[in-house]
Amino acid sequence: MTEPLRLSKRMSELGLCSRREADEWIARGWVRVDGKVVSELGTKILPTQKITIERQAAAEQSKRVTILINKPVGYVSGQAEDGYKPAVALVKPEARWKEDKTPTQFHPTQLRSLVPAGRLDIDSVGLLVLTQDGRIAKQLIGEDTSIEKEYLVRVQYTKPGRLPDADLQRLNHGLTLDGRKLLPAKVSWQNDDQLRFILREGKKRQIRRMCDIVGLKVLGLKRVRIGRVKLGDLPAGQWRYLREDESF
């Protein structure tokens, strides 16, 4: 026998929407199971049952925006904290990149439920994704995400000489943080003082902590790519919409 599970969880697993969106749609009567409307939150179903969503849900979802920001130093990714501004404060018409060719018009309602899909700490810069679309948030920060994030990291070796090759290998494969082995990474020298990191996970201050273990001090950290989406020429402090032909 297959165990029944919450309808909202199953909808999220199928990539239809986030759990929060699922609950919203269920409450509005926009979800059918085997052809019948289900409007009670917490309803459980079998994985074999067929879920369909009403056109209103699809139409509302298509209006949800995803915004790419080149975050400067001094902004936090999420909620405002300790007097620092959140990155969403940069999303205003005058800061929109003039090269943004998407036809989407800016409207203040786009700031509602606009959440960071992955974080950049206050001292780091580069590509930050803010989205209203639960599917994209799940894709980028869900437990089973395998989407690569690429960073350029300026470093200084705190010991005599140069970083040994064995320690570079440890950065690629063989470090443990918080008692858990890290997933393999791709770490290589770009020039004398800059490393390229490609990760498939995002623990808090992960790159800085990885560097610290092997005696490297991070002087600057910039995220330049998430999956297939690149930062490109987007200027610092400016933003653009994710294009329809782009996907992570």
Residues 148/199, Cβ–Cβ less than 8 Å: yes
CA dist 213 to 161, 163, 183, 204, Å?
Answer: 17, 12, 16, 15
How many other C-beta atoms are found inside a 10 Å radius of the C-beta of residue 241?
20
Q: Letter for the amino acid at 119? A: R
Residues with Cβ within 8 Å of 92's Cβ and at least 6 positions away in sequence, in order, are none
Rg (CA), the chain: 21
CA dist 15 to 11, 51, 150, 237, Å?
Answer: 6, 12, 24, 32
Catalytic residue among 23, 34, 82, 121: 121
Residues 151/208, Cβ–Cβ less than 8 Å: no
Catalytic site includes residue 192: no
DSSP character string of 41-52? TT-EE-TTS-EE
3-state secondary structure of 226: strand
CA dist 34 to 5, 22, 43, 50, 84, Å?
Answer: 15, 16, 14, 5, 49
Please list the active-site residues: 121
